[in-house]
Amino acid sequence: MIDLEKTLLDICLPLVDDQKALSVKTMATTNENEILLYVYANSEDVARLIGRKGIMASSIRQMMSIAARDVHKRISVKFEAY
């Protein structure tokens, strides 16, 4: 079974300037078939991860959706700035 947190972190690390400040956390949901992942970074890096018109965020979500097929769960990725 793959570690979805590590997979998301590996995707996002090359895209940010401050790699030590980037973190990914799994949050509990009420739906057992869903995994909710939060990406925490400073506001400049979150803007870079989201991209213009959400293009980067959409691509990251699509890649994570493919990765989550192995565990037969739906995945949601949220971006949060601190």
pLDDT in tens, 22-34: 999 999 888 888 8
* pLDDT of res. 1: 59
Check: CB of residue 12 under 8 Å from CB of residue 40: no
Name residue 5's amino acid: E
> What is the C-alpha separation between 6 and 20, in angstroms, rounded?
14
Q: pTM surpassing 0.85?
A: yes
Q: What is the CATH number of the domain that holds 60?
A: 3.30.300.20
One DSSP character per residue, 28-63 reads --S-TTEEEEEEEE-HHHHHHHH-GGGHHHHHHHHH
Question: How many domains does the chain contain in total?
Answer: 1
Q: pLDDT tens, 33-81? A: 889 999 999 999 999 999 999 999 999 999 999 999 988 989 999 999 9
Check: CB of residue 38 under 8 Å from CB of residue 24: yes
Name residue 69's amino acid: R
Domain hosting residue 74, numbered range: 4-81
